[in-house]
Structure 1
Amino acid sequence: MSTRTLIAPGRLARPGGKAAYRIVLGLVLLLFTLVFLGPLYWLASSGLKDAQEVIQTPPTLVPGSFTPGNYTRAWEVMDLATLLLNTLYYAFGALAFQLVLDVAAAYSLSKLRPVLGKAVLGMMLATLMIPATVLVVPQYLTVLDVPIVERNLLNSPWAIWLPSVTNAFNIFLLKRFFDSIPGELLHAASIDGAGPLRTLWSIVLPISRPILGVVSIFAVVGVWKDFLWPMLTLPDPTKQTLNVGIYSLSNGVPVNILIAALTIASLPTLVVFLLFQRNIMSGLTAGGLKG
């Protein structure tokens, strides 16, 4: 079976065809590389400049005043160690709740087939059409005075964890993957005496590692990059996340130190993506086709 390509093999075989193809491909790749990596380079290089060089016009591509001590100073002045630990605590707490509750919801919708399951899934997906900013006020009023228990959750990790638990997109991803698991496999487990929970724990979860990895990354990055909600619900400086803490401490800090702090704050998520990019792509495509 011949492989379909953008350019016909006959044109590539013409004199100069392969050379022209490689030149165009190289230029396109170079353009996209500059578009995506340019802002990251500017961020990292500006953290190595002094305050005067950062704001000068036109900007310099290569730092003329190479001062790597800006990163050490940013770590100390902005108290990034505390902010980083706070963010990790909130992120992995939200991850734990999402893995437990979202997996249970997706498994029940996919394999247990409850009454009105399709309607429930449809209503979940409909919430993705609602802008997040519309929900800020009702969520804040709920956190300010939780119904029934009448508790104020401000300055507590529950203010971050509870709104992130029911993630409709993650539930949809998990359900699509669970749908691709052969029913015969689960039926064989039930014949051996395994109940729904045992089947989920012993059979479904071990073969669902790709999609669980994707959901885990989405959960951690979702908390890591959030700004508005932590700023509203965590006014205590000792309990703030990385983004909110840097914003709160930015007044009076030189711009080069601030940029160095922002560079440090962006490094963990970039490292996670570079290490697990294959897992992310394989997890997103898993479950797209059955068989």
Structure 2
Amino acid sequence: MRTLISPAQLRTPRGKAIYWLVFTVVMLLFVAAFAFPMYWAVTGAMKDPAELARTPPTVIPDQWHPEAWGEAWSRLNLLTYFGNTVLVAVGAWLIQLAVDVPAAYALSKLRPVLGNKILALMLATLMVPASALLVPTYVTITDLPVFGVNLINSPAAIWFPAAANAFNIYLLKRFFDQIPGELLEAAVLDGAGQLRILWRIVLPISRPILAVVSILAIVAAWKDFIWPLLVFPDPARQTLSVALQRMEIDMPLNLLLAALVLASVPMVALLLFFQRHILAGLTAGSLKG
């Protein structure tokens, strides 16, 4: 293995000192780049509006106002918008699993005719800008084909367009490809059907990749802005991202920052809690045993 510094040099006291110095500096820079915006938002929420507008800005608040959190929660009616966002995110997550998992399993193990071409067409949709799909998707959900239903102001307007996600199908298929065919053939010989094999065998050993797909689906639905802005004109049904943008004009900046921090807490906690599952799912390349 060739590296910029040879192993012999790294074993010397000078080499070790330089290595740990560079490593520490790089890590501190990365931590600062990610942590400072969060620190700025949290401390900014506890400043008064006059201090927030001061130039140059203060890094540490002169006076702390922790009551801003409670005021933002009650004044902006965040409980309602949290409920709307949770409903949208959970529904989008469930419908993606219900559609993407069987689709990926079929492409991986059932090998339908033209399966590779179908997958290629799915992946090609990732090259289409999301803004180019807004108008046709909006026209579709305002007059749902066959049913003739208008889904404006309904969570289904978020759920149905999110159902078939090409990237998630690709991730799932890649993972299913690593499952030994002998394992599934043994189940078939025991009389198990494809649905039973998927439910009893494939899904239990696919928990890492299911965690990755779940996180991607929930985070995407939670932070989406443009599409919920179009399909939720009723303020009472809007998600957090849309409601905060609508209220920012008449809201003190410190309360807005407090609301933004509160809105981001669930996703940050979710990512921290499931980070091991995410790494395991993304790096899984084979099955043991």
- TM bracket (short chain): over 0.9
Asked if 1:46 is matched to 2:44, the reply is: yes
Asked if 1:76 is matched to 2:74, the reply is: yes
Partner of 1:279: 277
Q: Report deviation, 1:6.
A: 5.5
Q: Report deviation, 1:251.
A: 2.3
C-alpha separation in 2, matches of 1:290 and 1:6: 34
Question: Structure 1 residues 284, 15: CA separation in 2 closer, same or farther (over 3 Å shift)?
Answer: closer
Residue type at the aligned position of 1:228 = I
Q: Report deviation, 1:59.
A: 1.0
C-alpha separation in 2, matches of 1:217 and 1:204: 19
Partner of 2:124: 126
Please give the residue correspondences for 1:248-287 in structure 2 after superposition, counting only pairs within 5 Å: 248-287=246-285
C-alpha separation in 2, matches of 1:212 and 1:4: 37
- In the TM superposition, what whole-angstrom CA distance separates every residue of 1:198-246 from its partner, at most 9, and x where no partner exists? 1101100000000011111111101000000001000111111011111
Give the match's secondary structure for 2:113.
Answer: coil
Please give the residue correspondences for 1:23-172 in structure 2 after superposition, counting only pairs within 5 Å: 23-172=21-170
Q: Report deviation, 1:85.
A: 0.8
Q: Report deviation, 1:133.
A: 0.7
Residue type at the aligned position of 2:156 = W
Partner of 1:210: 208
C-alpha separation in 2, matches of 1:258 and 1:46: 10
Q: Report deviation, 1:188.
A: 0.4
Partner of 1:173: 171
- In the TM superposition, what whole-angstrom CA distance separates every residue of 1:165-211 from its partner, at most 9, and x where no partner exists? 00000000000000000000000000000011111011000000000
C-alpha separation in 2, matches of 1:67 and 1:6: 51
C-alpha separation in 1, matches of 2:164 and 2:235: 27
- In the TM superposition, what whole-angstrom CA distance separates every residue of 1:120-167 from its partner, at most 9, and x where no partner exists? 000000000011111011111111112222211100111010010000
Give the match's secondary structure for 1:67.
Answer: coil
C-alpha separation in 2, matches of 1:266 and 1:143: 29
What TM-score, normalized by structure 1, do the two folds share?
Answer: 0.96
Q: Report deviation, 1:62.
A: 0.9
Give the match's secondary structure for 2:153.
Answer: coil
| Identity %, equivalent residues | 54
C-alpha separation in 2, matches of 1:259 and 1:6: 45
Residue type at the aligned position of 1:99 = L
Q: Report deviation, 1:15.
A: 4.0
- In the TM superposition, what whole-angstrom CA distance separates every residue of 1:231-267 from its partner, at most 9, and x where no partner exists? 1000111111011111122221101111110010111
What TM-score, normalized by structure 2, do the two folds share?
Answer: 0.96
Q: Structure 2: give runs of 5+ residues left out of the alignment.
A: none
C-alpha separation in 2, matches of 1:149 and 1:252: 41
Q: Report deviation, 1:5.
A: 6.1
C-alpha separation in 2, matches of 1:36 and 1:132: 27
Please give the residue correspondences for 1:170-249 in structure 2 after superposition, counting only pairs within 5 Å: 170-249=168-247
Residue type at the aligned position of 2:93 = L
C-alpha separation in 1, matches of 2:3 and 2:64: 47
Residue type at the aligned position of 2:242 = V
Q: Report deviation, 1:45.
A: 1.0
